[in-house]
Amino acid sequence: MITVIIAGGSGSRLWPLSTPDYPKHLLALNGSGSLLQNTYARAKRLSSKIYVIPEVSHAHHVKEQLPDLPDSHFIVEPARRGTASCIVAGLERIARDNDSDEPIAFMAADHYIRDVDGFAHSFKVAARVSKREGRIVQVGAEPDYPATGFGYIEKGDLFDEDAFIFDVKQFKEKPTYEVARGFLKSGKYLWNCGYFVGSVDTFLKAMKQYAPKLHQEYEALKSCKTAADYEKTYLGFENIAIDYALIEKVEDLLVAPAAFDWMDLGSFGDLHKAVESDQNGNHTTGGNVELEDVENSYVRNDEGRPVAVIGLDNVAVINTANGILVTRKDLAQKVGDISKRFKK
C-alpha cells in the first residue's frame, strides 16, 4: 500500500493558533508531536511508501517536521486548489515510480486519532477489498453525537460480510441538529472523514467515467516538461473538493466503518474534547492563567502577559502573538469567518 497525506489546509477555524503560513496540522495541540507528525507515524503503520502534499507557503515547515522523508516524496502545491487537485497531483506523481494497481490511501494531516492499531486495520481491510474489486473504498467514522459540522455517508447493503464493508447508498451534506439526531439514531450513517483508498488505475477509471475534467487535468500534469509548465498548469485547476468533483458521482463506491476513534479538530470545541480537563471541565495551557468560577472552558496563553477568566462557562480564550480570541465554544465554527476578515 501507498499512503498520501494531504497537508495543504489553512485551519482558519483555529485562529489565532493556526494561520495560513503555519496551519493547524503543524501545531502540537494535544500532546507530543504535531498533528502532521502523528499522522505520519500512523501512515508508517500502513506503508513505507509515503507521500505528503503541502502548499507552497508552508512546505518548508512540513519538510522540517518530517526530516526522514525523501524530498522526492513531497508534492508541493503551487497554491491551494482543493483536494481534487491534490489527489490528481498525487496520482500523477505516484504513477511515475509505482505500480498503477497498488492501493493508495489518501488521508488528511490534521485529524486526531488515538487507536493506531484500529486505524491500521481499517485501511488494510479497505485496501484489500479495493484491490480485489477495482473500486474506490472510503473509510467512515461511526458518529457518537449528532454533529452538524460533518458530512455523512449513508450505508447501503452489506457488500462483504467478512470485511464488514458496505455499498454507499448516498451522501448527506452537513445536516441540521434534528436531522443529525435522526442519522445517529438510525445507525445507518457514518461521518465522512475524507478517507479514500484506491489505485491509480481505479481512480483514473472513475475519473474517465464520472469526472472527465479531472482526468484531463491528470493528463495535463503528466505532459508537463518543466517545473514552470507544471506550476502554470496546476494554477489553472478549479478549486474544488474531491467529494464534489468525483466521489459523490461514483455509483459503485464502498465504505468501511472505521475501527478506531476519530476527531477532526475543526474548532476549539472539538479541540477541548481531545485534551484533558480538570474537575470543573476546564483545560488550561501556558503559564500566568487564573480562573475563578469558570466551567467547561478551554484557555490557552502562549504569551507572557497574565490571562484571567472570571464567571464564564463554555468559552475558549486564546492569547497568542497572532491575536486574542474569546468565543463561546458552541459558536467556535464562526472563527474561520472572523479570521478571513482579519486577513482582508
| Residue 164, φ and ψ in degrees, nearest 5 | 55, 55
- Does position 158 have pLDDT exceeding 90, yes or no? yes
The C-alpha atoms of residue 102 and residue 145 are separated, in whole angstroms, by: 36
pLDDT per residue over 184-197, tens digit each?
999 999 999 999 99
pLDDT per residue over 227-245, tens digit each?
999 999 999 999 999 999 9
Q: Which of 24-38, 43-57, 236-250 has the lowest mean pLDDT?
A: 24-38
Q: Any bridge partners for residue 139, and if so which?
A: 195, 256
For the chain, what percentages of helix, strand and coil (3-state, to nearest 5) are there?
A: 40, 25, 35
Q: Are strands 254-257 and 137-141 parallel, antiparallel or unpaired?
A: parallel
Q: Where in the chain is the domain with CATH 3.90.550.10?
A: 2-266
pLDDT per residue over 72-81, tens digit each?
999 999 998 9
Q: Give the three-state DSSP class for 24.
A: helix
Q: Are strands 189-198 and 104-108 parallel, antiparallel or unpaired?
A: antiparallel
Q: Any bridge partners for residue 302, and if so which?
A: none
Residue 172 near residue 289, CB atoms below 8 Å = no
Q: Which of 63-67, 213-217, 231-235, 338-342 has the lowest mean pLDDT?
A: 338-342
pLDDT for res 176: 93
Angle value at C-alpha 174, between 242 and 129, nearest 5 degrees = 50
Q: With 0.85 as the threshold, say if the pTM is over it.
A: yes
Q: Are strands 104-108 and 2-7 parallel, antiparallel or unpaired?
A: parallel
Q: How far is CA 303 from CA 67, 142, 285, 307, 338, in A?
A: 29, 38, 11, 9, 21
The C-alpha atoms of residue 172 and residue 180 are separated, in whole angstroms, by: 10
For domain 2-266, give the fold. Answer: Spore Coat Polysaccharide Biosynthesis Protein SpsA; Chain A (3.90.550)
The C-alpha atoms of residue 299 and residue 40 are separated, in whole angstroms, by: 28
